[in-house]
Structures are given as structure tokens and as C-alpha cells.
């Protein structure tokens, strides 16, 4: 095992692959439950409303983990943090697999979200481990692994739940994290802390960053609003497809995860466009595309054939995922340009807001679906995206744009 401070040569491909896999499998734990809700609820005797809080608590746990745990990466060895979180995540996934009722499942979901923040430790670790000349390529590779984890998690969960049951999916997830943890224990080098600030001082600095930087607040609010609709869609999709007129199982809901390929495509396109025209244009275009895509879903009931309705929803899902990922990449450009010396903490603040938005979307999605049906969910998601667009177009943006160049 080698020390990162003495590492200047090219990282071995096996280490890069390990980092990418750790990020991908770690973040995937957040999304396994979503395509399984349609079969999970009836199996444990839970209502659609109560089971909708499974992804809500997972996302809320992730947001709390980013806020309360991610700053520790500057204070302690990230390798040790990753290993501890991987161990906790294994036990939480097994707890979900063997939950006899909805209450312990909800508790396990919260812990899954907290421990899945290992992905937020892996990406900064990759940036630290990477030599200066190869940092962009290595971090990009790790982020590709993270995106693939988001993309494939729903597909895999839907397939496994359809053929082997939802409990088997949680067991498979636990085994995958255990294997990643064992590989990380052998392959990850130790990373020395970069600060000696106490825990309270680390958290206190987050509040200071939030107060000082209007660009951070606007980016966080806008992306959180976009995340509301995104999470509302994914947390209610399985329940909607399970009912009339579709009567489709978990595999069909999971297959919608392939729409995430649009997000993977959006990342490099959005990055290049943000470099050439500025991130503000990319953010506004992304938010507008999200709003239009969700609004298009309101027309699905006009199609008599279920296949036509499903086709419209698929196309709209591709559209809003592309728009959301484009806005996310551009917002990260804004946030990371605010203060290069505080990027980890800025990232913690930003993604805390994002996942609070996702948790809110999951909760509202379950309530709106029960009260107004799928059209209500689509309308709520479209309105939240319009809210994000309004935040970005607010006149005060001009002052931030002058302060941060075109990055505000």
C-alpha cells in the first residue's frame, strides 16, 4: 500500500476501475427500491402511500449523510471512511431484505441512504489520488461509473424482483457491497487528512459558505426543484405501471432506467456547451426541457392504446433525464468555480439540497398519486421545473453572473 502524497505516476487501471465500481455500486443502493415498490408493498401488507416513503427515507438519509458525514473526508483518512460506510451499508441492505413489515424497512432505508454516501467519498478520493496531468480523465471515468450505477440499478432491480423477488435484490446488493469493500480494503491507498478542524468547525464552515455565496444558494435551490419532479416520477412509476391500464411488473419499471442513458450522453455535451456559451444557458435549457417533458406526460390519457401511452412516457422520460443531467453538470461548473479551496464543502452543501429535493419529491409523489393520480404527479413535476427555471431567470442573477463571470 502506498501513500498518496508520494504518488506522482500514472494510476494503475485496476485502481481506477475499483474507484469507478465503488462509486457505481455505492450510489446504486439508493435506487434499487424504486422499481420494486409495486410488488414490495402488497408482499408486506403496506399501502401505496406508506411504501412510497421507502425511497423518501433513502434519499433523506443520503442528504443527511452528505451534510453530516461528507465533510469528514477532509478530516480523516477517506479510505477508512469508505470501508466503514461499506460495512454499514451491507448490514442495512440485509436489514431491508429481511424486514417483516414496513416499519423496519423504512428504518433500513434511512440507514441505506446514510451509508450510500460512500460514493461521495470515492469521487474526491479519485481527484486526490489522480496525478495532475491525468486528473480530469480519471475523475471522468469514476463519474461514468457513478452514472452507470444510477442507470443500471433500476434495470437490475426490476429484473431480479420480477424473477426472484424483491428480497433477493437486497441480498444481491449486500453481497456486491461486501465484495467492493473487500477489494477496497486491499486496493485503496491511505489518504492523509488535509485539515485539523474539529467536527463542529467543519460543519460551521458549511453555513458560512451558504451565507456568503448567492451563486451557491441559487444553484442549490434550482437543482433541488428539478430533483423534486425527477424523484416524484421514479418513486411512483412502479405503482403506476402496476395498475390499469398497463398491468406491468417490476421488470418493466426497471427497464425505464435505460432512459438514464440520456443523462450519460448529456454530461459531455453539457460540459462542452457550458465551456463555449456559459453554464447559465445550459441550466435554463435543461430546466425548460424538464418542464416540457413532464407537461407532455399530461397528454398520455388522450391515447386509447396503452402502448401509445407508454411510448409517450418513455420519450418524455428520456427528455427530462437529459435536461436534468445537463442542468446538474452546468450547476456543478458554477459551484466548483465559487471557491477552489472549498470544493468538497461546497459540494456537500449543493448535494444536500439536491437530495432534500429528491426526498421531498418522493414524499409528494406518493401523496399526489394517491389524491390526483398520475396526471397530478406529472403536473407537479412540471411546475417544480418551471420553478427552477424562474430561480435561474430571477433578475438578481445578473449580479452573481458579474461576480462569477459566466459561471453564475
pLDDT digits (tens, 9 = 90+) for 105-146: 999 999 999 999 999 888 777 777 877 666 556 766 777 788
Per-residue pLDDT at 263: 62
DSSP secondary structure string, 325-379?
HHHHHHHHHHHHTT-GGGHHHHHHHHHHHHHHHHHHHHHHHHHHHHHHHHHHHHH
pLDDT tens digits along 68-77: 888 887 788 8
Per-residue pLDDT at 227: 93
> Measured between alpha carbons, how far is 233 from 226 in angstroms, rounded to an integer?
11
- pLDDT-derived band at 5, boundaries 50, 70, 90: very low
How buried is residue 221: exposed, middle or buried, by Cβ count under 10 Å (0-12/13-18/19+)? middle
Cell matching residue 44: 408486506
End-to-end CA distance of the chain: 41
- pLDDT: is 325 or 181 the higher one? 181
Cell matching residue 245: 391500464
- Asked if the model's pLDDT at residue 63 lies above 90, the reply is no
Instruction: Please state the pTM of the whole predicted model.
Output: 0.71
Per-residue pLDDT at 134: 61
Percent of the chain predicted with pLDDT > 90: 33
Average pLDDT in the chain: 82
Cell matching residue 114: 446514510
- pLDDT: is 115 or 334 the higher one? 115
Max mean pLDDT among 14-28, 81-95, 179-193, 339-353 falls in: 81-95
The arithmetic mean of pLDDT across residues 41-53, rounded, is 81
Per-residue pLDDT at 382: 95
Per-residue pLDDT at 7: 43
Per-residue pLDDT at 202: 85
- pLDDT-derived band at 213, boundaries 50, 70, 90: very high
Q: What CATH number matches the domain at 1-196, 1.20.1250.20, 3.50.50.60, 1.10.10.10, 3.40.50.970?
A: 1.20.1250.20
The arithmetic mean of pLDDT across residues 218-240, rounded, is 89
Per-residue pLDDT at 404: 45
- Asked if the model's pLDDT at residue 8 lies above 60, the reply is no
Cα-based distances in Å from 3 to 22, 26, 282: 20, 24, 39
Max mean pLDDT among 127-136, 156-165, 330-339 falls in: 156-165
May I ask the CATH class of domain 205-408? mainly alpha
Q: Could you tell me where in the chain the CATH 1.20.1250.20 domains are found?
A: 1-196, 205-408
- pLDDT: is 124 or 399 the higher one? 124
- Asked if the model's pLDDT at residue 374 lies above 90, the reply is no
- Asked if the model's pLDDT at residue 312 lies above 50, the reply is yes
> Measured between alpha carbons, how far is 389 from 145 in angstroms, rounded to an integer?
29
The arithmetic mean of pLDDT across residues 215-228, rounded, is 95
- Asked if the model's pLDDT at residue 185 lies above 90, the reply is yes
Among 35-49, 275-289, 328-342, the minimum mean pLDDT is found in 328-342
Amino acid at each position: 500500500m502506498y501513500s498518496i502524497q508520494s504518488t506522482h505516476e500514472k494510476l494503475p487501471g485496476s485502481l481506477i476501475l475499483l474507484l469507478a465500481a465503488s462509486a457505481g455500486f455505492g450510489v446504486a443502493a439508493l435506487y434499487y427500491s424504486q422499481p420494486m415498490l409495486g410488488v414490495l408493498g402488497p408482499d408486506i401488507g403496506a399501502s401505496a402511500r406508506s411504501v412510497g416513503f421507502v425511497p423518501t427515507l433513502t434519499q433523506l438519509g443520503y442528504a443527511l449523510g452528505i451534510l453530516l458525514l461528507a465533510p469528514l473526508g477532509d478530516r480523516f483518512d477517506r479510505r477508512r471512511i469508505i470501508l466503514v460506510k461499506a460495512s454499514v451499508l451491507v448490514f442495512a441492505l440485509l436489514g431491508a431484505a429481511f424486514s417483516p413489515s414496513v416499519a423496519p424497512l423504512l428504518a433500513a432505508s434511512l440507514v441505506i441512504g446514510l451509508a450510500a454516501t460512500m460514493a461521495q467519498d470515492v469521487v474526491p478520493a479519485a481527484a486526490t489520488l489522480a496525478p495532475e496531468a491525468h486528473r480530469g480523465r480519471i475523475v471522468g471515468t469514476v463519474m461514468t461509473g457513478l452514472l452507470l450505477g444510477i442507470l443500471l440499478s433500476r434495470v437490475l432491480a426490476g429484473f431480479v424482483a420480477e424473477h426472484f423477488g424483491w428480497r433477493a435484490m437486497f441480498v444481491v446488493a449486500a453481497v456486491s457491497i461486501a465484495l467492493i469493500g473487500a477489494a477496497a480494503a486491499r486496493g485503496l491507498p491511505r489518504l492523509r487528512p488535509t485539515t485539523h478542524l474539529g467536527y463542529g468547525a467543519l460543519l460551521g464552515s458549511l453555513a458560512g459558505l451558504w451565507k456568503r455565496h448567492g451563486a451557491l444558494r441559487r444553484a442549490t435551490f434550482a437543482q433541488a426543484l428539478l430533483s423534486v419532479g425527477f424523484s416524484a416520477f421514479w418513486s411512483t412509476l412502479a405503482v403506476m405501471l402496476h395498475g390499469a391500464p398497463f398491468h406491468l411488473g417490476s421488470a418493466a419499471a426497471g427497464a425505464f432506467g435505460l432512459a438514464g442513458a440520456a443523462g450519460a450522453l448529456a454530461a459531455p455535451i453539457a460540459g462542452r456547451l457550458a465551456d463555449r456559451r456559459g453554464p447559465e444557458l445550459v441550466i435554463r435549457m435543461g430546466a425548460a426541457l424538464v418542464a416540457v417533458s413532464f407537461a407532455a406526460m399530461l397528454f398520455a390519457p388522450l391515447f386509447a392504446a396503452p402502448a401509445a401511452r407508454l411510448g409517450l412516457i418513455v420519450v418524455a422520460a428520456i427528455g427530462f433525464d437529459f435536461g436534468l443531467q445537463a442542468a446538474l453538470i452546468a450547476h456543478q461548473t458554477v459551484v466548483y468555480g465559487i471557491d477552489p479551496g472549498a470544493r468538497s464543502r461546497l459540494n456537500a452543501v449543493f448535494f444536500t439540497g439536491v437530495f432534500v429535493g429528491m426526498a421531498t419529491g418522493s414524499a409528494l409523489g406518493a401523496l399526489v398519486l394517491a389524491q390526483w393520480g398520475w396526471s397530478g404527479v406529472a403536473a407537479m413535476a412540471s411546475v417544480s421545473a418551471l420553478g427552477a427555471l424562474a430561480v435561474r431567470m430571477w433578475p438578481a442573477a445578473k449580479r452573481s453572473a458579474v461576480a462569477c463571470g459566466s459561471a453564475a
